[in-house]
Amino acid sequence: MLHVQESVLEINFKALQQNFEFLKSKTKAGTKMLAVVKAFGYGSDATEIAKYLQDELNVDYFAVAYIREGAYLRAAGITTPILVLHPQLINLKHAIAYNLEPSLYNDRILTAFAKEAAKQGKKDYPVHIKFNTGLNRLGFFHTDAPHVVQKLKTLSQIKAVSIFSHLAASEDANEKTFTQNQIRLFNNVAEAFEKGLPYKPMKHMTNTSGILNYPEAHFDMVRSGIGLYGFGNDPKYAKNLRPIASLKSVISQIHRIEKGESVGYNRAFVAEDFTTIATIPLGHADGINRRFGNGVGSVLINGKKAPIIGNVCMDMIMVNITGIRCDEGDEVIIFGEGQTAEELAAKVNTISYELLTAISQRIKRIFLR
């Protein structure tokens, strides 16, 4: 690893490869792999992640949340099929312009996209039909399957290349009965499609936890988001996944303050004795939530934990380095080796996803290949 001289997010492609290959090893031969690269690749860099997955690992599909995310990938040279999970009506024409495959999750968007595809003279344009089996977020209700099948039979401009659903609690062993019922409902949907259409769409349902815990739901393709980036929701698999991102910075300045002196806005920290503090060039504008202040979160300096003191500023945090041997310019690890994003996020009762996706685009990305 590099010794950094500014705030950087290091992205380790070897770890990405390890995660991809581990998840792939959990599926049977022939099962397609879909990589979720929404939210700027879970806060890393969607285009660089996608290029590596496409060019080096031969991933079968990508998924993004919105059409604009897919357009960026196409502009960067990504040619692999891209599923758009939550397309908006206003952007549907751009989905076709960039050869993106929309998820159609209700009658309104199905009708609107079919109209746009017809307007552009398309035939058998690939779409994905989303069914709600219990997450209650997006999707046709599972009992709508016959209605959707009949509608698709009248629309030659589009073709359902897949049907899919999303597990709600695949990481929770206490919800096994609920998850198994979701799988049962999805199988009913699939049966309606297989009986009603002259072709057989792909089926996919599992997220990272589903890949690991419900092999019976792997079907034709599996989807992984957080697992590719090095995190799972089951401790027994943690040793097989490596976080790909490390957030690092440097000590800008060291202060030695006396008892009674304060640090930062609103004098939120007041020294009870002689205290040595370091200022780090990262703040809430970079994704370090204010909740990490006042001793809740910490960073690593020369292998020692230094608590964040006072209020997190927009561009800076201050940490207590009393008793830690260090100098201005020394490297600081916010998350990475010695403290994962998951461990740091837990300090404020949240999850790794929130911390990772909050990292500002102004933080320089460094790619370790």
User: Is 38 marked active-site?
Assistant: yes
**In terms of DSSP H, where are the helices of the chain?**
13-25, 38-43, 46-55, 67-75, 92-97, 107-119, 145-153, 176-196, 208-213, 341-346, 352-357
Helical H segments across 99-164, by residue range: 107-119, 145-153
Instruction: Indicate the Cα dihedral angle 143, 149, 150, 151, nearest 10°.
Output: 100
Q: Is 134 left (phi over 0), alpha (psi -120 to 50) or beta?
A: left
User: For residues 166 and 177, what is the distance between their CA atoms, to the nearest angstrom?
Assistant: 15
119, 200, 265, 364: the catalytic one is 265
Distance CA 98, CA 257 (A): 57
Tokens coding 18: 């390890």
User: Which residues fall within 8 angstroms of residue 56, CB to CB, at 6 or more apart?
Assistant: 13, 17
Say if CB 367 and CB 13 are below 8 A apart. Answer: yes
- Out of 26, 38, 130, 248, pick the active-site residue: 38
**CA contacts within 13 A on the Cβ side of 36:** 22
Q: Please name which of 114, 199, 205, 219 lies closest in space to residue 156, comparing C-alpha atoms.
A: 114
Q: Count the residues in the chain.
A: 369
Any catalytic annotation for residue 265? yes
Q: Which tokens go with 60?
A: 């079968």
- By 3-state DSSP, what share of the chain in percent is helix, strand and coil, each rounded to 5? 35, 25, 40
Q: List residues with catalytic annotation.
A: 38, 265
